[in-house]
Amino acid sequence: MLLLAECLLSGVGSAKAADMAPSVKQSVTIPTAAALKYVVFSTKAAAAPASLRSFAEQAVSELSGQDSFKKWKQATITYDPLGPGTHSWLATVSQNGKPVGYLILTSTDDGGYMLSEYGQDESMPYNTQALYNRLKQLGILTAGGKLPAGVTISAQYSALLPVWKVTQPGKKAAVYIHGITAEELPLGAVGSDPVSGGLTPRSGLHLTTTTLPKQQRTSDPYDNLLWLTSPKLTFTGSGDLMRFVTTEQQSLVFTSPGHNASYGAPFAIIGLHTWSSGDQGGTVLYAASGNGGNRFLPAASLMAHGEFRSINLSQL
């Protein structure tokens, strides 16, 4: 493994600043997804700020009290900066060296941080195995796993969307690949909209309620397309969303007409986490989405960036 690291470092430009994507100076062979992960992340030397680490530890401790997050108890947390710049960080939660979950934290205008999303297991973002397969399919990784000189690969985060940015010498347009599904995204899909409505560091932060449906709901909107014909729902606030999700016979789909690729939509909402925002006395909702409802996104951000439609479960 040490030899592999030395080989990779000889072909990877030193990232003197955390917002610089590692650039391959000469063609190198990357035989595995683990080696690819090293190229993307391990050359970035920026250390996560102490305030961010403290916030992440607080959130992990609170989540670990839930049965579905019990693997997070006594877990270790590692941090990787996400581009562009160091405005976002990926905190990977590991147990016995194996990743069991993650948090993405982004900077706020006041110099603090917000919990932009979190999740576990199948919903892990920045899946390097999926990226490795996609790069081979696109011909960017050539036969034998060679990465041409001048290629840069960076992990980035825009509103609700973890992405890989791949630039190639001689090509003006970068290739963007979804960080979870590894789907190639269309040009213009990746924007700079900020995430909103997430948790920020507060004293007394507490996960107060987990709302799960009493009847099993589909986590893939493509399993049933009846939601396409249902009317758009009007939610005036998080309370409306909470009441809807707790209704047994309804499943919810988030979509952003004309901008689905920018937010990884459509996807189903199958549960909620309700957090107490500490000394402010308010609540913050995170919507459970993704495969099995294991990816949690700020409900306020969903309401700001798209719309909701329903499926009557009796029709499934």
Torsion of CA 261, 262, 264, 267, to 10 degrees: -90
| pTM of the predicted model over 0.95 | no
Distance between CA 189 and CA 102 in Å, rounded?
24
The residue that leads in pLDDT, 160 or 76, is 76
pLDDT at 154: 92
Give the confidence band of 17 by pLDDT, cuts at 50, 70, 90: very low
Tens of pLDDT, residue by residue over 130-160, are 999 999 999 999 878 899 899 999 999 988 8
176 burial type by CB count under 10 A (0-12 exposed, 13-18 middle, 19+ buried): buried
Distance between CA 292 and CA 257 in Å, rounded?
24
Distance between CA 185 and CA 177 in Å, rounded?
6
Tell me which residue of 151, 133, 137 sits closest to 39, measured CA to CA.
151
Paired residues of 209 in beta bridges:
274
For residue 193, what are the contacts with CB-CB under 8 A and spacing of at least 6? 158, 159, 262, 305
Residue 68 has pLDDT above 80, yes or no: yes
Tens of pLDDT, residue by residue over 251-302, are 789 999 988 988 889 998 888 999 987 665 688 999 999 877 899 999 999 9
The residue that leads in pLDDT, 4 or 305, is 305
Distance between CA 137 and CA 155 in Å, rounded?
19
For residue 306, what are the contacts with CB-CB under 8 A and spacing of at least 6? 254, 255, 256, 257, 259, 263, 265
Exposure b/e, 281-291, CB count within 10 A at least 16 = b: eeebbbbbbbb
Tell me which residue of 81, 281, 115 sits closest to 196, measured CA to CA.
115
pLDDT at 110: 85
Residue 161 has pLDDT above 70, yes or no: yes
Q: The tokens of 299 are what?
A: 């409900």
**Highest mean pLDDT: which range of 2-16, 39-53, 57-71, 146-160:** 57-71
Give the confidence band of 7 by pLDDT, cuts at 50, 70, 90: very low
Tens of pLDDT, residue by residue over 170-228, are 998 999 999 998 999 988 888 767 778 899 988 788 998 888 765 556 668 888 788 88
